[in-house]
Structure 1
Amino acid sequence: MYKLNFNADVFANREASGVGVVIHNMKGEVMVALSTKGSIVGDSEEAKALACRKALEFAMDAGFLDLIIEGGNVIVMQSIFSTQPNLSWLGLVYKDICCILASLQYVYFSCVCHSANLIAHSLACYASQIDNEIVWMEEWPPPTFEALFLDSSFLNE
């Protein structure tokens, strides 16, 4: 079982967004992490829905099929599991997410507060400084050392 955290940041002045993803094992050790630029988005919900889709695609590509997925946007999390069809302009993104979820062996979603998602947030913000996607395997991503320290201190409480 692995925990996947994702987040997005909107760079208004750069006409782009950033996506941050981190997958931990149950000991809190980083298995894989991602920082990448996303497309221009209209609002936070769109950025986070697209980040969720990217995070799930990344997890599948890396071979993680048993996931506890944590994100910080209540609307996105509720939309994914709504039994009602989503007729908004993000409906197709949510449909894509549901298709990816069907490929997982185990999935549990949880909406978490900002302080529980600091690593993914740091990676999303870091995307403003890069041009290409960066992936870290079994190592702490340098842009998140402070957030990783804070996150690990929560694990020890």
Structure 2
Amino acid sequence: MVYKLNFDAAIFSRMKKSGMRAIIRNERGEVMAGMSAIGPRIETSEEAELLACRRSLEFVVDASFTSIMIEGDNTNFMQAISSNVTNFSFLDHVVDDIRHLMASLQWVKISKIRRGGNKVVHVLAQHARNLDSDLYWLEDSPPPALEALYQDLLLL
């Protein structure tokens, strides 16, 4: 069975932290797992997206998912992780970590989606702003994103 991973990041400059979130769903759109986590202070959206993807893939591996379609809304970033070309940016070590995590899975497909298609994890961003510790949901829908999940299911 192939699962879909959506992830996103948010930068909370005034609070000197970031938020990372992920949602893993089956082919019927049902939530298999979710994460809303606190990240370090980050300066750029590219750095935030890369760190959120790495953290999300660590979550995928830890939760024992093996076949994943990764969906993200940043075109440059999605191209960077799907390419075999050496990345010479200041974040090349994070790209390498992501590629290593993807190589540990049985099957991976990378897909760029429009920002509106990442609505559920975007809603979880607002939730991450007020967290004191990371939250994980297994086979349960994250309460802060119930409305967005419901709207997504209506579109299926």
Superimposed CA distance per residue, residues 16-41 of structure 1 (whole angstroms, 9 cap, x where no aligned partner): 11011000011110001000111111
Contact preservation (8 Å) 1:20, 1:122: no
Shift of 1:90: 0.6
1:117 aligned partner: 118
Is 1:31 paired with 2:32? yes
Note the aligned Cα RMSD (angstroms). Answer: 0.9
Normalised to the residue count of structure 2, the TM-score between the two structures is: 0.96
Superimposed CA distance per residue, residues 49-71 of structure 1 (whole angstroms, 9 cap, x where no aligned partner): 00000010000000001001101
Give the distance between the partners of 1:55 and 1:104, measured in 2 at CA: 13
Q: Alignment length, in residue pairs?
A: 155
2:54 aligned partner: 53
Give the distance between the partners of 2:82 and 2:23, measured in 1 at CA: 22
Give the distance between the partners of 2:153 and 2:69, measured in 1 at CA: 17
Which one is further off, 122-131 or 85-94?
Answer: 122-131
Contact preservation (8 Å) 2:20, 2:125: yes
1:11 aligned partner: 12
Contact preservation (8 Å) 1:36, 1:124: no
Q: Unaligned stretches of 5+ in structure 1?
A: none
| Letter matched to residue 5 of structure 1 | N
| % same residue | 43
Superimposed CA distance per residue, residues 99-120 of structure 1 (whole angstroms, 9 cap, x where no aligned partner): 1111000000101112211111
Shift of 1:131: 0.8
Moved over 3 A (4+): none
Q: Unaligned stretches of 5+ in structure 2?
A: none
Is 1:81 paired with 2:85? no
Superimposed CA distance per residue, residues 81-108 of structure 1 (whole angstroms, 9 cap, x where no aligned partner): 2232111111000000011111000000
1:20 partner SS: strand
1:108 aligned partner: 109
1:153 partner SS: helix
